[in-house]
Amino acid sequence: MLALIVGPGRGVLEVMHVLRDLLDAKPVDFHGEFMNITLDPPRLRPVRGGCPPFYFGGLSEAAREVAAQAADVFLMWPDTLSGVGTVLEDMRARAARYGRKLRFGYRAHVIVRATETEARAAAQRLVSRLDDRTGDTIRRRSLDTSSAGTQRQNELRGIADDNGYAEPNLWTGIGRARSGAGATIVGDPDQVLAKIRAYADLGMDAFILSGYPHAAEADLFARHVLPRLDHAPLLPR
């Protein structure tokens, strides 16, 4: 996987084309609007498989077009199931116009406990001492505060119920304290598993999951949910 942390637009598309050739150990002779570059094949290259998959995300028009043309995996931040379905339908149609197919990935946080009551309580404890003013200050420090993706995370908090849930088991409270991926899958093992499988049924086949504190939440996920999922081989520690 290669994650590209750059702004969307024509210049990014040119960078992706050049970078893919370099990682495929090809010479580069590219003359575009933003890049004018000629290079011999690189002496350093991936050991096997050539260029790794490009994971790329963004909800703006420009970002969607870049992903449709040059990404391998379109990566989304948390959203409701209906919201995810709408975006995936749009991205499949865009990619098809370029004769391409996209894979899809989902970036979210997870809180899993033996019972839903325990999971919801753990979620509330995370933000129990956070006031809205401090949370707003934290979010404004980020460089992505005006992005379409961040605006969608703000919308999710706006439609959430009094406990911060935009839909069953999708908690937006973590977005009060951070920018970017601002929602969390919360529930007991069966609920978390069902939620992940529901996203997979829509077309998600790559999941980037995290928690707070990360090591503790990763251990809980590994104990309660991971053994029940088909997944790629795990790397040794």
Q: What is the pLDDT of residues 141-166, one digit of tens each?
A: 765 667 898 899 999 999 999 999 99
- Measured CA to CA, the distance from residue 83 to residue 183 in angstroms comes to 13
**Residue 149 near residue 77, CB atoms below 8 Å:** yes
| Structure confidence at residue 227 (pLDDT) | 94
pLDDT value at 4 more than 90: no
- Measured CA to CA, the distance from residue 86 to residue 90 in angstroms comes to 6
Instruction: Report residue 6's pLDDT band, with 50, 70 and 90 as the boundaries.
Output: very low
Name the phi and psi angles at 141, rounded to 5.
Answer: -75, -20
Q: What is the mean pLDDT of residues 35-51?
A: 83
Cα-based angle 204, 20, 105 (whole degrees, multiple of 5): 10
Residue closest to 221 by CA, chosen among 198, 191, 189: 189
- Measured CA to CA, the distance from residue 67 to residue 161 in angstroms comes to 33
End-to-end CA distance of the chain: 19
| Helix, strand or coil, per DSSP, at residue 59 | coil
pLDDT value at 11 more than 90: no
What is the dihedral sign for C-alpha 83, 86, 92, 93?
negative
Q: What is the mean pLDDT of residues 165-177?
A: 95
| Mean pLDDT across the chain | 90
**Residue 68 near residue 98, CB atoms below 8 Å:** yes
| Beta bridge mates, 39 | 28
| Helix, strand or coil, per DSSP, at residue 110 | strand
- Measured CA to CA, the distance from residue 29 to residue 11 in angstroms comes to 16
Residue boundaries of the structural domains of the chain: 107-228
Enter the pTM of the model. Answer: 0.87
Q: What is the mean pLDDT of residues 191-203?
A: 98
Q: What is the mean pLDDT of residues 116-138?
A: 90
Q: What tokens does 235 get?
A: 């790397």
Instruction: Report residue 5's pLDDT band, with 50, 70 and 90 as the boundaries.
Output: very low
Q: What is the mean pLDDT of residues 175-200?
A: 94
* Rama region for 33: left / alpha / beta (φ>0; ψ in -120 to 50; rest): alpha
